[in-house]
A and B are shown apart, each in its own frame.
Chain A
Amino acid sequence: MKKRFSVLAVSLLTAAAQLTGCAAGNGTANVPAQDEQQQLEVTIATPQIGEAPKKGNEIEQAIEKYTNTKLNIQWIPAAAFEDKKNIMLASSELPKAFKITWNATTLNAIQSGIFWEIGPLLKDYKNLSALNQLYYDNIKVDGKLYGLPLFRDIGRAGITYRKDWFDALGLKPPVTLDDWYNVLKTIAEKDPDKNGQNDTYGIFLDKSYNDPAASSSFLTRLAVSQGAPNKWGVEDGKLVPEFMTKPYLDSMKLLRRLFQEKLINQDFSVVQLADADNKWNVGKVGIRVNTVASAAATSQENLNKAVPNGVVDIAPYKGPSGNRVPAEPGNNGFFVFPKSSVKTENELKRLLAFFDKLLEPEMSTLLTRGIENKHYTKTSDGKAQFKDLALFNLEVKPYRDSLPSFEVTGTGLPLSMTDLQAKGWKVVADNLPNVVKNPALTLNSGTYSEKGNELDTMIRDAQTKFIMGKIDEAGWQAEVNRWKTAGGDKLIEEYTAEYAKKK
């Protein structure tokens, strides 16, 4: 018993010692305004991508050296990023640059004026001001720009399809809705995988096919190619939701017909994304709809694990009026600069200069290709070829995905690509002039903040019911009217007023 006592006493003592020892705060020192010669301290908080890199690694050192800064990046696990964000906002423990995504709490924070407005300053930075204005327009709040986007491609839609099947069946990538019907019917019925079973699909839908928030949802992509607006259209100065337009309804009718004839999977309203991917991976699907054009090569690789001789190709979404795709937001979140941590406009300017420098060739190469002879090697024609992708993903990818960079279209060393990769990226580049903007993307509506989810769900369910044949066209119209009376009309009114203000 005595012995136990001493053990207890010792452990209590060590506990006390630890308590006192660990109770040091960790406030960051405020750097006073300095001249350009001195190192700028850059603190960044951003969602974690992959494993959190160790502080002071090669990549960080290279960035620090080139930009003359002292970097301190806090990686926040993605799983609870929003909660952490709210805590940081509430306790004003903010970094100098905070990467957040667009949602209601973000909007509130921005509107409360705790972040710097950067719009008027951008013109002084050659790289930031040279970019397509759409990137910035998409994240404006009340017509002002507060954020620096983490750039992503805007026109990402493409038709990723099984070229070997199409060739064998004499098909071409579909253009009109009738083409879509014929192609999907042929693939579903002609047994392209030659296994004697009726188990192939033209497309395999998952439940995000009509996601109301994403311009990347299949139904929107399909409808836009046929002439529908991207989520919201403008008719005579009035905003109209996509599902009240004819091309969109026609696209829905196509799906309804396909469902009736059992040419698409009957369980589409409950299928998870991963299951749809699996169907593609095992070679049961003709057109992969839940992906982006630049990922065609990945689709091919995934397919070849199970179907070694499967051939994948990529084609742009074309409709009766040519190439027409919905504009996606063009960012994966954006950096905001809190006034509580960035004290002066001078400091803000230096921060922006830091981000501007990241788009220069040397930094762009570092962020998107890594370090020469470690992550990539130069080919004879002066392109970069990845040497060790696993290492790249571990050491460089977190920076590439969290700092402004353009993977393929940037100023860095061009990437040596396979034909399919290059073709996919070409589709993305060709899409850009033909994107259809979502006019309501940055509009605020009280009704939507309050009841948006409810309204969206109402329409989503009605669409699914319509496609499954549970309601007819009259029933669909009744559902739309129900949506209108439940708040849809007010939503349209508010958006229209906001839109008119912006003009």
Chain B
Amino acid sequence: MPTEDKNWSNRLFHTLNYSALLLVSIIMFIPFLYIVSVSFAAPEEVVKGGLLLFPTHFTLGAYKYIFSTDTMVRSILVSIYITVFGTFINLLLTSLTAYPLAKGYLRGRRTFLIMVLITMLFSGGMIPTYFVVKAFGMIDTYWSLMIPGAISAFNLIVLKNFFQQIPDGLEDSAKIDGCHDIGILFRIVIPLSMPAMATFGLFYAVGHWNAFFNAIMYINDSQKFPVQVILRQIIILSQDQIGDTASQQDPTDYLPQTIRMASIVIATIPIALVYPFLQKHFAKGVLLGSVKG
């Protein structure tokens, strides 16, 4: 709590503020803790039901089961590939498009912007999009998960506005020193836009990591499925519904619930680990002192 709060109303406000925030974080944290606990708990304990926050019998059974085949590992590798490479494509194409649109002297800039805006409001729909992807020969390749939607119109516009805030003086001096447009973009504008790059990189990366629907649409080969598809499959399978399964006499040596939770943990951890590394880029003040005004 800040110490400069002398008067009580400020203090009250802060107390309430902090308690509310603490409550919200707890509300968000408990389900996650529950998932982690169930994934490590022994089946006997989970079967009893109720909220389980600290398992007494610790077991790795569910994880052993999931990693007993290479499906999960392979799908995680696929997702990592799509996330890293896809995010790179996203950022490259988004900044290449945003930079010229940020310049007032671009001819037909308004028209381009309106074209971008229209795509935000109207889309062709699932089946026409499928035909486009098919016509490009991207069905059953990883490209189908990276190229469609490589530029998000919303991110493009925000990034354009960010680029517009960069003082023109910087670019002018670079031009005087003999730098061309592409050089300016890659050597000056993008390095100065690291906070924006980190932010959008994170958005894009999470999007790729959570890729599910597109993968189902465009990928037919089950060896190429990203992790979310596998995860969803596991979750569906572990909700055995009466009347759907051929027989319910397949004895199970594990508990579906624990398998479900363990797969959620496995699929969430990699992307959760990305946040701390991007944290430093969210810091402000990159532009300070670059232009003497």
Q: Interface residues, chain A, CB within 8 Å of chain B?
A: 1, 4-5, 8, 11, 15, 18-19, 22-26, 48-52, 54, 74-80, 83-84, 86-87, 90-91, 152, 156, 214, 216, 273-275, 278-279, 281-282, 290-292, 294-295, 297-298, 301-302, 305-306, 328, 332, 389-390, 393-394, 397, 400-401, 407-408, 421, 424
Contacts and interface: CB of A to CB of B under 8 A. Distances in A.
Interface of B: 43-44, 47-49, 68-69, 71, 88-89, 126-127, 130-131, 134, 136-143, 186-187, 212-213, 216-217, 220, 222-223, 225, 229, 232-233, 236-237, 239, 241-251, 253, 257
Contacts of B223: 52, 54
A298 B88 contact: no
* Closest A-B pairs by Cβ, 9 of them: A295-B248, A52-B222, A23-B137, A79-B232, A80-B216, A22-B141, A278-B49, A216-B243, A90-B127
Nearest to A405: B246
Q: Which of B216, B220, B222, B229 has the most CB of A within 10 A?
A: B222
B130 A74 contact: no
A278 to B, nearest CB: 4
Contacts of B127: 86-87, 90-91
7 contacts: A23-B136, A275-B49, A282-B48, A294-B249, A298-B248, A332-B246, A424-B249
B48 A48 contact: no
Contacts of B140: 26
A143 B7 CA distance: 83
Contacts of B130: 87, 90-91
Contact of B243 (A77, A156, A400): A156
Contacts of B248: 291-292, 294-295, 298
Question: By CB atoms of chain A within 10 A, which of B141, B222, B249, B251 has the most?
Answer: B249
A421 B212 CA distance: 39
B247 A407 contact: yes
Contacts of B229: 77, 79
Contacts of B48: 278, 282, 306
Contacts of A86: 126-127
Contact of A77 (B68, B134, B232, B239): B232
A305 B249 contact: no
A48 B235 CA distance: 13
B242 A291 contact: yes
Nearest to A333: B244
Contacts of B245: 401
Contacts of A394: 69
A296 B232 CA distance: 28
A282 B249 contact: no
A24 B137 contact: yes
Contacts of B247: 294-295, 407-408
Given A79-B216, A84-B216, A91-B130, A26 B251 contact: no
Given A77-B233, A87-B126, A291-B248, A306 B44 contact: yes
A321 B139 CA distance: 59
B282 to A, nearest CB: 22
A313 to B, nearest CB: 15
Contacts of B139: 25-26
B181 to A, nearest CB: 15
B225 A77 contact: yes
B217 A87 contact: yes
Interface of A: prevailing SS: helix
B225 A281 contact: no
A410 B137 CA distance: 44
Given A77-B233, A278-B47, A332 B251 contact: no
A478 B229 CA distance: 47
A11 B250 CA distance: 49
A393 B126 contact: no
Contact of B137 (A22, A78, A408): A22
Given A23-B137, A26-B139, A390 B253 contact: yes
Contacts of A421: 249
A80 B213 contact: yes
A156 B244 CA distance: 12
Contacts of B126: 83, 86-87
B229 to A, nearest CB: 5
A389 B140 CA distance: 33
Contacts of A291: 242, 248
Contact of B187 (A1, A18, A292, A297): A1
Contacts of A282: 47-49
Nearest to A11: B88
A83 B216 contact: yes
Given A22-B143, A83-B126, A152 B246 contact: yes
Given A273-B241, A305-B47, A306-B48, A91 B253 contact: no
A22 B217 CA distance: 18
A25 B137 contact: yes
A79 B229 CA distance: 8
Contacts of A48: 222, 233
Given A4-B186, A26-B140, A298-B248, 7 more contacts: A8-B186, A24-B137, A52-B223, A79-B229, A273-B241, A292-B242, A294-B248
A397 B250 contact: yes
Contacts of B212: 79-80
Contact of A301 (B88, B216, B246, B251): B251
Contacts of B134: 91
B258 to A, nearest CB: 12
Contacts of B232: 77, 79
A83 B233 CA distance: 15
Nearest to A303: B47
A156 B241 CA distance: 14
